Amino acid sequence: MRVGIVGGTGDIGEGMALRISQVHEVILGSRELEKACATSDACHLALNEKGLPCTCSGVTNQDAVDRAEVVILAIPFQHLAATLSSLTGFGEKVVISPVNPLGRKEFFFFAPPPEGSAALLVQRLLAGKARVCTAFNNIPAGSWKALGEPLAHSVAVCGDDPAARDLVKGFVGSIPRLAALDAGPLAVSPMIEAITPLLLNIAKYQKMRDVGIRFTG
């Protein structure tokens, strides 16, 4: 599968590329082509040093959208609207939003837009053309990058298109140790995004790092 990562040079995007490029072709995008290429080269180096495969190339954000079958928006919430307004060609593609709108005072809190969640904002900004799903919202960047440790997290997936949701669940499940769980329609996305500030607060007050979730039952 060709997976485009818009904003692939940030902490989350870079970490995702390290894991995903071992099993899929990653098209890593950035506003700056040179930065994307440098991050792609670093991904190859890090994985090759561990004897792991890597299929990754650095491109512009627009090229990442154009060439990908699935597009991941690894963008900080404050840059989400501006970034999407600069891009075209989403069509009927599956778009994954791991974006969490957060605020911070003495603690972290959920700060959604009027739409109710980042994913619902993405759906509005793309005018309902793309098939938007949430996934990967609750995995910290440090967990993605810790290649010596298993990525043993649960990933809640929601979206309004059942076929897209199934595709995303299959994609999540292709990454070793990740467990995809169907959470229902995109209206559930505020609940998924709101888990992240909870995890950050637990990490802060318990003096823990890279806190994630794992559902069992």
The CA dihedral of 164, 165, 166, 167, to the nearest 10 degrees, is: 50
Spans of all domains in the chain: 2-206
Measured N-to-C along each axis, helices 118-125 and 189-206 cross at an angle, to the nearest 10 degrees, of 140
Give the C-alpha distances (Å, rounded to integers) separating 138 from 44, 82, 98: 25, 23, 8
Give the per-residue SS3 of 138-162: CCCHHHHHCCCCCCCCEEEEEECCH
26, containing H or E segment: strand 25-30
Position 127 scores a pLDDT of: 85
- Of the options 3.40.50.720, 3.40.190.10, 3.30.420.40, 3.40.50.2020, the CATH number for the domain spanning 2-206: 3.40.50.720
CA distances to 73, 193, 196 from 110, in Å = 19, 8, 8
Region at 36 (left for phi over 0; alpha for psi -120 to 50; beta for the rest): alpha
pTM above 0.95, yes or no: yes
The one-letter amino acid at 171? F
The tens-digit pLDDT sequence of the chain (217 residues) is 999 999 999 999 999 999 999 999 999 999 999 999 999 999 999 999 999 999 999 999 999 999 999 999 999 999 999 999 999 999 889 999 999 999 999 999 999 999 999 999 999 999 877 999 999 999 999 999 999 999 999 999 999 999 999 999 999 999 999 999 999 999 999 999 999 999 999 999 999 999 999 998 7
Per-residue confidence (pLDDT) for residue 42, from 0 to 100: 97
- Residue 32, C-beta contacts closer than 8 angstroms, at least 6 positions apart: 9
Which two tokens mark 77?
């919430």
